[in-house]
Structure 1
Amino acid sequence: MSSERTREVVEKYFADLERGDLGSALSALAHDIDFELPVDRWNEVIPYLGRHLGIDAVKAAFAVRGDTTEILDYAVRDLRAEGDTAYAVIYTRAAHTRTRQEFEIEDVHKLVVDERGRIVTWKVYFDPNSEVAAFNADREERLVRACWAGDRETVAELLRFGADVNHRDPESGLTPLLIAAGRADADLTRQLIAAGADVNAVDSGGGATALHKACQGGDLAVVRALVEAGAFVDAVTPNTGHTPLMDAVWFKNPEIAKYLLDRGAGLNLGTHYGFSLQQHFEYELNVNTMGKDKILLAHQYIQERQAADERRAADQLLMAAVTQGDVDGVRKLLGDGAEVDERFPIVNGFNDAHTPLLVASRDGHTEIARLLLEAGADVNASEPTFGAVPLHKSVYNGHVDLTRLIANWPGVDLDFQGATNGYTPLHDALWHGYEECSRIVIDAGARLDLVGHDGKTPLALAVEEFGADHPLTELIRAKVG
């Protein structure tokens, strides 16, 4: 095939396309044409991309393009031929038919013409970014609509195309996960969690979490999926003060209430309008004419948990001895095989979910802490209220000897950052002005470069609390270099 003939075939082909004469244009293609518009994970939102083998496949690709794209301007910018191969530069200005967002593309086409004057291979090289943006212009809005409709297939497609899984519905203020949880759609809930949905995001209207919505929706599988993904069991809404447990009672879902109780939901939290959990139950029982049996069953589960907590607290002799500072009692109980890291029940008290070592460290019982550590207590056990470890507890309260014991204990994590503020034990010691505790932790090898959630390093806190010229501040500055 001569270069002149190749150019003639390809020039006519693109002229037919420019005129919109698709029938004439397609007649220039070989029956077994190999047409490729390269596709990858970044541009797969454009549905007609890919490799199309045969004239029927090409026609189908053109049909999809026609349904999704309105051509506003089309021109051949350059065309060259070498033997049986032609290279063309094509300019296209178009708009997506659904989003109406316009885009421009200048792409390069490589076409091979056979001896019969038919185009047998056609490959397009292009930068699809502007076209991808046009196709994705309503991606998040479609995701929200698909979640309301429970359309998991569309949700999966949109997430694959990069939709923001935490995008809020502008009308309801709900994220996709909040929608799925409220609709009691367990499969969609799990799908969104797997895609990285924030399980503790709150709705912008009332501040409820997905777990609150799930307790309203009434599907235990949804509740279970959220809790297993890290949802806060005792999350409190800013308007009502409701916890998920309160909503489970309110919406007459006793089995959900039992599940939350089994996961340590607090029993002594009150609403923002002054009701205790018991008063909340009594009010709901009074105002409902239907479903009282479900409310009563939830209350039964609550009473059973209260009784269990009382038994557990009474049985924790080691914690009682630690709280009382009873060294001999602790020594005897450990010798008798007491569980050294047993957690205190959650009763909305100061010892909730604490181990004996955490309490001893907080309360300054140095000899008891030594006995617990020698018995194998977890030196890095954390508690859920502040997200602190024993060393935090000790320095926070200025216990010098206890700080020295823990900071030098084998396996201690000197740099554990608490969940509440991101502070390490060194941050806490500096923050509270305990110079000797600070020096002990520094000498033990604490890092000096970690920052809290407020962006402060130990040096910044030292300057703030002790002054820029204080010897402790100078020590930290010298070590930082």
Structure 2
Amino acid sequence: MTTQQTRQVVEKYFTDLENGDLASALSALAEDVEFELPRDQWNEVIPYLGVHRGVAEVTRAFQVRGETTEVLDYGMRDLRVEGDTAFAVIYTKGAHTRTRQEFEIEDSHRLVVADGKIVAWKVYFDPNGEVAAFNADREDRLVAAVWASDHALVTELLGTGARVDHRDRSSGLTPLMIAAGQADAPMVALLLEAGADVFTADSGAGATALHKACQGGSLDVVRALVDAGAFIDAVAPTTGHTPLMDALWFKYPDIAKHLLDAGAGLNLSTHYGFTLKEHFEYELNVNTRGKDRLLLAEQYLKARVAGDDARIEGHRLMAAVNAGDVEGVRALLAGGVDVDELYPIVNGFNDGHTALLVASRDGHTEIARLLLDAGADVNATEPTFGAVPLHKAVYNGHVALTALIAARPGVDLDFQGATNGYTPLHDALWHGYDECAAILLDQGARLDLRGHDGKTPLDLATEVFGAEHDLTRRIAAAAQQDER
């Protein structure tokens, strides 16, 4: 093909497209034409992208585009031709047919002509504007699909990047809360796999997905959320309800039992003044239907209380630690007691603690030494503050305990607590225990870590002791050295 012949074919082709004469335009294509619109993971939401071979496939691509895009303006901006190859710049202004969001594209086309027909056509363009138009209602469609239990559409939308935690505009619920409330276990699994947040609360009552699951009544959903790390004792800020309270309220004894077995607290109160026990007694009094399920739940509650009482009585090591009974602890360890046995969750000061955590908190240095020598976990964490034994020791200013634990092989000097992100060094400085802080510095505690308030150890030392204090000067000099 000569340059002039190629130009004539290509100019007529784009003129036909501009005039909306698709049939005439398609007649310019070779039967085995190859039409490529580059497709990747970032633009796959646009359905007509990809490689299309033959006139039939190209025709179908145009049909799909016509179904999804209304062309508002279209025209050639530039054309360069050399032999059988043409390079065209095309401007398109369109609007997505569903979202009505408009976009503009200026793309480059490379076309090869042979025997008067276009045999190859490749388009180079920035699809971001068009992708945005397709995705303008993506999150709202996700929410609607979850309400409709449309697992296939949810999978598709998540695959194209839909934000899994987008809230329903009317209810304030996230997709995970919706699926949990509807007892849709497969949908919950799908959303969790996509990274749905099990901790966030709804914007109306402050309830979590686990609260919704206890309303929905699916034990499988509750199991999935608990396994995903949902807070069992999350408290709704409006009612004060925990998930267990909701499980009892909605008469799902099997769910109540699962939460009880997982350690749900029994000594919490609603924000309207009822303890859990009073809340449950009220339910027993006002319900005439489904009372058999409430009575079954009552059996599970009583069994849990009895079990807690038995565990407390049987936790002889904790009793000895509480009493400061060194010889008692020594004897129990010699008898093979479980050195890391956890105290039951009874909404008390020792909940979920090991004996070492309590000994470190309460200043029992010799007992802590015995426990460590018996293999106690030096980095055990408790569930209330997410603290380790070293936090407990420095927080309470126990110098000898701090020295003992900080020098222990395997100790994590820089463990950051869950509630405030403070390391043991942060805690020692925060509470003004300079001797404990000095021990941690001697052991090599890090100086660059920040708490959730953004403060470094130097910030706290300056705030508590002043910039001219010897300890503050030491930390400042060490921090400066670390930066080098």
TM-score (norm 2): 0.98
Offset, 1:135: 0.9
User: Where do 1:30-429 residues align within 5 Å?
Assistant: 30-115=30-115, 117-429=116-428
**Which stretches in structure 2 are left out of the alignment for 5+ residues?**
none
Give the % identical residues: 73
Q: Structure 1 CA distance, aligned partners of 2:207 and 2:467?
A: 44
Q: Which stretch of the first structure deviates more once superposed, 197-206 or 75-84?
A: 75-84
Task: Show the counterpart of 1:454.
Answer: 453
Query: Following the alignment from structure 1 to structure 2, what is the Cα–Cα distance between the partners of residues 223 and 60?
Result: 46
**Counterpart residue number, 1:12:** 12
Superposed displacement of residue 129, structure 1 = 0.8
Structure 2 counterpart of 1:431: 430
Q: How many Å apart are 1:4 and its aligned residue?
A: 1.1
Q: Secondary structure at the match of 1:119?
A: strand
User: 1:347-406: per-residue Cα shift (whole Å, max 9, x none)?
Assistant: 111111100000000000000000000000000000010000000000000000000000
State the Cα distance separating 1:59 from its structure 2 match.
1.1
Provide the rounded CA distance (Å) in 1 between the counterparts of 2:288 and 2:318: 45
Q: Give how far 1:133 is off.
A: 0.9
Q: Residues of 2 paired with 1:80 and 1:458: CA distance? A: 65
How many residues are matched?
A: 480
- Mapped partners of 1:41, 1:396: distance in 2: 50
Superposed displacement of residue 186, structure 1:
0.8
Distance in 1 (alpha carbons) for counterparts of 2:36 and 2:145: 31
Question: Which range moved further: 403-412 or 285-294?
Answer: 285-294
Taking the aligned partners of 1:247 and 1:298, their CA distance within structure 2 comes to: 12
Q: CA deviation at 1:283?
A: 0.8
- Whole-Å Cα distance in 2 between the matches of residues 80 and 461 of structure 1? 68
Between the aligned partners of 1:430 and 1:150, the Cα distance in structure 2 is 53
Letter in 1 for 2:126: D
- Superposed CA RMSD in Å reads 0.8
**1:387 is paired with a residue of what secondary structure?**
coil
1:95-153 deviations in Å (ceiling 9; x for gaps) = 111111111101011111122x1111111000111111111111111111111111111
Counterpart CA distance in 1 for 2:307 and 2:157 is 47
What are the Cα deviations for residues 257-303 of structure 1, in whole angstroms up to 9, with x where unaligned? 01111110011111111111111111111111210011111111111
Partner amino acid for 1:424? T
**Unaligned segments of structure 1, at least 5 residues:** none
For 2:430 and 2:30, the matched residues in 1 are separated by 78
Secondary structure (helix, strand or coil) at the match of 2:104 reads strand
In the alignment, the residues of structure 1 paired with residue 390 and residue 405 of structure 2 have an alpha-carbon distance, to the nearest angstrom, of 6
Structure 2 counterpart of 1:249, which letter?
L
Give the letter aligned to residue 270 of structure 1.
S
CA distance in 1, matches of 2:383, 2:353: 8
Distance 1:334 1:426 in 2: 31
Hey, what does 1:22 align to over in structure 2?
22
Query: How far apart are residue 446 of structure 1 and its match?
Result: 0.4
1:3 positional shift: 1.4
How far off is 1:162 after superposition?
1.4
Letter in 1 for 2:299: Q
SS at match of 2:74: strand
In 1: Cα distance, 2:459 partner to 2:59 partner: 67
Classify the secondary structure of the residue corresponding to 2:413: coil
**Equivalent residue, structure 1, for 2:475:** 476
Q: CA deviation at 1:221?
A: 0.8
Task: Measure, in 2, the Cα distance between the counterparts of 1:394 and 1:406.
Answer: 8
Q: Separation in 2 of the partners of 1:299 and 1:315?
A: 24
Separation in 2 of the partners of 1:56 and 1:7?
Answer: 24
Other structure's SS at 1:271 match: coil
Alpha-carbon separation, structure 2, partners of 1:300 and 1:371: 40
- CA–CA separation in structure 2 for the residues paired with 1:165 and 1:181: 14
* Per-residue deviation, 1:243: 0.4
CA distance in 1, matches of 2:133, 2:438: 59
Alpha-carbon distance between aligned partners in 1 of 2:82 and 2:155, rounded to the nearest angstrom: 45
Q: Runs ≥4 in structure 1, deviation > 2 angstroms?
A: none
User: Aligned partners of 2:303 and 2:50: how far apart in 1?
Assistant: 61
Report the Cα distance in structure 1 between the residues aligned to 2:167 and 2:128, rounded to whole angstroms. Answer: 25
Give the C-alpha shift of residue 313 in structure 1: 0.9
**Aligned equivalents of 1:289, 1:53: Cα separation in 2:** 69
**Structure 1: distance between partners of 2:221 and 2:443:** 46
